[in-house]
Amino acid sequence: MPSPRIVWITGASSGIGRSLVEIFVQHGDTVAASARRIVLLEALQKDLSSAPGTCRLFPCDVGEESQVATVGEAILKEFGAVDFLVNCAGVTSFKSFLGTTTQEFDEVVRTNLRGLFLTTKAVLPDMIERGNGVVMNILSYAGKVTYTGSSAYAAAKSGAEAMMDVVRAETRDKGIKIVNVSPGAVLTPIWHDKQRERYGHLMMKPVEVAKLLYEISLQPASMMIEDIIIRPQIGDLKV
């Protein structure tokens, strides 16, 4: 993997995505940071203005096919390649199955599953042509166990995992690494304020997760770290 690397990170405006942008840029990489909230992206870029690497902004709604195609083409045109894609964009709705509207279901699947499909397709052909590249998918432990109030989210995340397992099998002989990451509870804005206030001290911190994932990003060419589960020390949080 070349250094500095070209890294495209979605969901970059907050949480794990933001922390990942920070750590890659602090280590000298060039990061294409994508999210829908442009103001937060601009604040992130300003915070990293004196860092060793570079943060470039590519606002994008990952569920919108035309936007993903345009942004993917722009990144490839500007930098020549994407060495490392991090699919981190995610949304959820903490509602029961019967309480979840069709609109809420569609939005959760649109971002967490369709978005991952679109961004990966935008960079994978070039990675295959070059014979190397990494796609890291920030999934969720909710896709592996049963949490009430998360049916749409669990369906989208477990579907994304299954899809990327297939992509791994289809591309591993072409030099591509597919890394699926399933974190437990992380202290990010995806949780309600009351949940963060009550349980935040038990949750993992985004910067802690990002540091671990950065180290995993340095895996040698001879190795593929396929599946990672990261959980709070206390285990499941009943929130």
Instruction: Work out the pLDDT band at 2, boundaries 50, 70, 90.
Output: low
Asked, for residue 85, whether it belongs to a domain, the answer is yes
Which of 141, 147, 153, 214 is labelled catalytic?
153
Asked, for residue 232, whether it belongs to a domain, the answer is no
Asked, for residue 120, whether it belongs to a domain, the answer is yes
Asked, for residue 239, whether it belongs to a domain, the answer is no
What is the maximum span of the chain, computed from C-alpha positions, in angstroms? 49
Asked, for residue 1, whether it belongs to a domain, the answer is no
Residue 204 three-state SS: strand
214 is catalytic: no
Give the number of domains in the chain. Answer: 1
The whole-number pLDDT of residue 147 equals: 84
Domain residues for 96?
A: 6-221
Asked, for residue 46, whether it belongs to a domain, the answer is yes
Mean pLDDT for the stretch of residues 150-179: 97
Mean pLDDT for the stretch of residues 196-214: 91
The whole-number pLDDT of residue 187 equals: 86
Mean pLDDT for the stretch of residues 193-198: 81
Q: Percentage of the chain with pLDDT > 70?
A: 98
Mean pLDDT for the stretch of residues 107-125: 98
Instruction: Work out the pLDDT band at 192, boundaries 50, 70, 90.
Output: confident
User: Residue 239 pLDDT > 80, yes or no?
Assistant: no
**What average pLDDT is seen over the chain?**
94
CATH of the domain at 13: 3.40.50.720
Q: Burial code of 25-62, b = ≥16 C-beta within 10 A, e = fewer?
A: bebebbbbbbbbeeeebeebbeebeebebbbbbbbbbb
Residue 228: what are its φ and ψ, rounded to 5°? -130, 130
Mean pLDDT for the stretch of residues 105-113: 97
Asked, for residue 234, whether it belongs to a domain, the answer is no
Model pTM greater than 0.85? yes
Block residue for tokens 């794990």: 16
Asked, for residue 229, whether it belongs to a domain, the answer is no
User: Residue 58 pLDDT > 90, yes or no?
Assistant: yes
The whole-number pLDDT of residue 105 equals: 96
